[in-house]
Structure 1
Amino acid sequence: MQKRIKWGQLGAAITLSLALMTACGTNEEEVNENNQANDNDEVTNETENNNDEIENAADEENEAANEEVTGGEFPITLTDKVDREVTIDEEPETIVSLLPSNTEIVFELGAGDRLIGVSDFCNYPPEAEDIQNVGGQDMDPELILSLEPDMALVQRYHYENHSEILDQYEQSGIDVLVIEGGESFDEAYDTIKMLGSATGTSSRADEIVVEMKDALAEIEEKAEEISEEDRKTVWVEISPSPNIFTAGQGTFMHEMLEVIQATNAAEDQEGWVSLTEEEIVMLSPDVIITTHGVAEDPIDEVVSRDGWSDIPAVQDERIHDVDNDTVIRPGPRLIEGVETLAKLVYPEIFE
């Protein structure tokens, strides 16, 4: 890949430096004239202080300009989610993201203005919906190649099913990074840091991870007030009837419920699993959380199911529908998802 020089930013930095040098020179001439006209120590000291402030301001603005030009530490070699070593020679100026969680993270890193292509499902932040759509699991390779991005953020599905297309990207000089958020907070933190390294925004990535960990710790500390006898059993419904899926161990949802001191009704299951309506009734959950948003009224759909009227959550009207993006999508908004669950399951503690 040819070296990409940010001439616009470099030119602005040079122009700024020349302007500041000229300004400093003009101030010095004025000081000399004043000294010749009036040998006043107080005036001289005040002028020297003003010059020091101007020089300090110039240094700070030059440093800021240099940081904008040079970015992070490059070249850098990263091991992506399929254990490939990817060397990124220069900070990417243009990026295509084919996974909503990665798009959210890139925006949170302050690099959203570099995105020139996103997937069908990239709907947050709202600005993402104004960016060119380049497909989802089924990419539009011709469109992506025509955009000539510096970097493509893809998922494992693309690597396993469209490796020849990814090879085309790399042959065209596009850095391809296979990167997914995983199914735990720790994996999400790792993804945020990796994207920070890949985009030259490592400092901001570290800040985001610290903020998320601190917020999660606060929720955990508050949840310690919940006694074992007050602990609620929660049924989480990812997809509606007739093919009802839920989240067992090894998922974000299970970890979130553990954080707020709730029991996952499907804790004996692993990963994303399907259960029958009869099996769910036997679990007798205290609270039901739906995240699919498929039905026009998901709560009414649950209440109307045969045999569900005896479930405590139905009897007590403790059925809630939440935005699935905040509880499934591995990004900074996971904390928002945990807070929402905490308030719905234990309103007396978290409201």
Structure 2
Amino acid sequence: MKQKLWVFLILIILVAAGCSAPSNKEKADNKNQSEEKTKQTQKYHRIISLMPSNTEILYQLGLGKEVIGVSTVDDYPKSVKHKQKFDAMKLNKEQLLKAKPDLILAHVSQKGMGDKVLGDLEKKGIKVVYIPEAHNFDEIYGTFKQIGKITGRESQADTLVYDTKHRVDAVLKDVPKHEKAPTVFLEVSHEPEIYTAGKNTFFNYMIEELHAKNSFADLEGWKKVSKESIIKQDPNVLITTEGITRSDYLKIIRKRGGFENLEAVKKGRIEAVDGDTISRPGPRIDQGLKALRDAIYRDEK
């Protein structure tokens, strides 16, 4: 259930922010803000993280004790269950003020959505840093370094980058050799509205890094797609990231008229991967990448 809520949160945030990669101006603004926010490093002892990936980064940097609050969809590491919860989609200014944070890590789209609550908190002297959306591994590593610089954990961040990069490279080196790139349909949300990831999304980037082809790479960002369009694409593999089991996903597929004729269904290439590790651009991304690789190439391992 947490995985589905996390995917839903990502969809809502990104759809509200425009569904696609940031413009050059937005990238420049994000970069300038990041530089401005990290010019002066100080120690923070009461941190609120409004995105699960940022929470995981903070813990890996040794700041778990300093984290006093997380989003309602945070569930890793297990100790976050003891932290105060905040609804990232409906922030309560009084609740946040009562928690007395000295640092809040938010998603950059929350600024783009015009979140007045965070703006008011900044005016009251609380440091708010908006972390940009990562679209590739280098940007994930950049997020590690950004948070490390903000919190005075730069050396730990460098180590985290090195270790994560090493694990990611190991996964990529073990991609089976194949003559033709398999086509993949990645389902991030099912009925009543089916959503998938198009170009300029981290999901699409991972598929391409694994030498496969996204069936909807012609679309931009996170998009709703019809059953008919999926049938027309006839992908080699159908993969869900909703956190449901493979058998449950198969039950959903069997209820869709016309899907019985898809190559993926005929060959039993219905797969399910962990929604958390694949969708959170954080320290466990190698696990998500490996799960995606194994799902795409299950018959070739």
TM-score bracket for the superposition, by shorter chain length: 0.7 to 0.9
Q: Which gives a bigger RCO, structure 1 or 2 (Cα 8 Å, sep 6+)?
A: 2
Q: Deviations over 1:133-160 (max 9, x none)?
A: 1221211211211121111112234323
Question: For residue 345 of structure 1, what is the amino acid of its counterpart?
Answer: I
Q: Which moved more, 1:314-323 or 1:160-169?
A: 160-169
Q: What does 1:209-248 align with in structure 2 at a 5 Å threshold?
A: 209-223=161-175, 225-229=176-180, 231-248=181-198
TM-score of the two chains, using structure 2 as the length reference = 0.82
In structure 2, C-alpha distance between the alignment counterparts of 1:214 and 1:119, rounded to whole Å:
29
After TM superposition, give the deviation of residue 162 of structure 1 in Å. 4.9
TM-score of the two chains, using structure 1 as the length reference = 0.71
* 1:168 matched residue in structure 2: 120
2:203 corresponds to 1:253: yes
2:113 corresponds to 1:158: no
* 2:267 matched residue in structure 1: 316
* 2:18 matched residue in structure 1: none
Q: What does 1:157-196 align with in structure 2 at a 5 Å threshold?
A: 157-196=109-148
Identity %: 34
Structure 1 residues 163 and 233: CA distance shift in structure 2, 3 A? closer
In structure 2, C-alpha distance between the alignment counterparts of 1:80 and 1:175, rounded to whole Å:
18
- 8 Å contact 1:252–1:327 — kept in the other structure? no
**1:137 aligned counterpart, secondary structure:** coil
Match of 1:119 among 71, 79, 101: 71
Q: Which moved more, 1:335-344 or 1:258-267?
A: 258-267
2:241 corresponds to 1:301: no
Q: Deviations over 1:247-298 (max 9, x none)?
A: 1111111111122221111122221112211110111111110112479922
Question: For residue 242 of structure 1, what is the amino acid of its counterpart?
Answer: P
In structure 2, C-alpha distance between the alignment counterparts of 1:289 and 1:348, rounded to whole Å:
14
Question: Across the two proteins, how many residue pairs are aligned to each other?
Answer: 270
- 8 Å contact 1:219–1:259 — kept in the other structure? no
Question: For residue 149 of structure 1, what is the amino acid of its counterpart?
Answer: P
Question: For residue 336 of structure 1, what is the amino acid of its counterpart?
Answer: Q
Give runs of ≥4 in structure 1 deviating > 6 Å: none
Question: For residue 212 of structure 2, what is the amino acid of its counterpart?
Answer: A
Structure 1 residues 257 and 90: CA distance shift in structure 2, 3 A? same
**1:177 aligned counterpart, secondary structure:** strand
Question: For residue 171 of structure 1, what is the amino acid of its counterpart?
Answer: K
Structure 1 residues 88 and 98: CA distance shift in structure 2, 3 A? farther
After TM superposition, give the deviation of residue 301 of structure 1 in Å. 0.5
Query: Alpha carbon RMSD of aligned pairs, Å?
Result: 2.2
* 1:138 matched residue in structure 2: 90
Radius of gyration: which is bigger?
1
Match of 1:326 among 252, 277, 280: 277
- 8 Å contact 1:235–1:285 — kept in the other structure? yes
Structure 1 residues 262 and 163: CA distance shift in structure 2, 3 A? closer
- 8 Å contact 2:92–2:117 — kept in the other structure? no
**2:223 aligned counterpart, secondary structure:** strand
**2:84 aligned counterpart, secondary structure:** coil
